[in-house]
Amino acid sequence: MHAILRAMIKNATYIISSPDVKDCPQSGLPEFAFIGRSNVGKSSLINMICHNPKLAKTSQKPGKTLLINHFEVTTSPQPSPQGREKEKSQTWYLVDLPGYGYAQAGQKQREALKRMIERYCLLREQLVSLFVLIDCRHEPQKIDLEFINWLGENGVPFAIVFTKGDKLGRVRLKENVEAYKARLLEDWEELPPVFVTSSETGLGGEELTEYIERLTASLKE
């Protein structure tokens, strides 16, 4: 798994941390942003995808990401089906957004982070897809469902990424994911793309990276 991923991700470099969407890079590169409740394993997942355990700062204390963090990612060309030319390298931004729902943050800070997140989601033209991270061990949480519905109401493209897939057995993991999908279908006619991942084992990393690659390639068609 990790050998395949390393062949896809050539380089990932920290670029800048911004307090507001207006301060974000203006290079025009496509962006794929990651967000979720505090302590969902966002930084660990980013580091797993990019093969750099120190790229995004991880902490035992939730609520550490307070800015919009940009990382420039370059992928290596992959073998193409027979008869096709070799694919070219892709370059895009991976964006680490602040977590939401950190109970110990003050009301003023929570409102500021909410405003920062909403402004990025609504105003950032370079945003191709937002990845909403969900801890697979828990039942659907109101705060996650409200945020997902807000994305739908505002036409923000997104996918759902279940994290910590190694913490459950195969059967329980499948049951939890299917139960979550069923809950979403109470509000949605069609589900967004869904991925199941583990930063410990590499589960889902290849699929997630390939999905980003396909979206990036489609922008050039």
Give the domains, in start order, of the chain with CATH numbers.
2-218 (3.40.50.300)
| Cβ-Cβ contacts under 8 Å for 80 (sequence gap 6 or more) | 86, 87
| Cβ-Cβ contacts under 8 Å for 30 (sequence gap 6 or more) | 92, 93, 126, 128, 215, 216, 219
> Which pLDDT score, from 0 to 100, does residue 149 have?
96
The answer to whether the CB of 99 falls within 8 A of the CB of 35 is: yes
Length of the chain: 221
Q: Output the tens digit of pLDDT for each of the chain's 221 residues.
A: 455 454 478 889 999 999 999 999 998 999 999 999 988 999 999 999 998 888 987 654 555 568 999 999 998 765 555 544 456 788 999 999 998 876 566 788 888 899 999 999 999 999 999 999 999 999 999 999 999 999 999 999 999 999 999 999 999 999 999 999 999 999 999 999 999 999 999 999 999 999 999 999 899 87
Name the packing angle between helices 205-218 and 42-50 (round to 10°): 70
CA 66/CA 112 separation, integer angstroms? 10
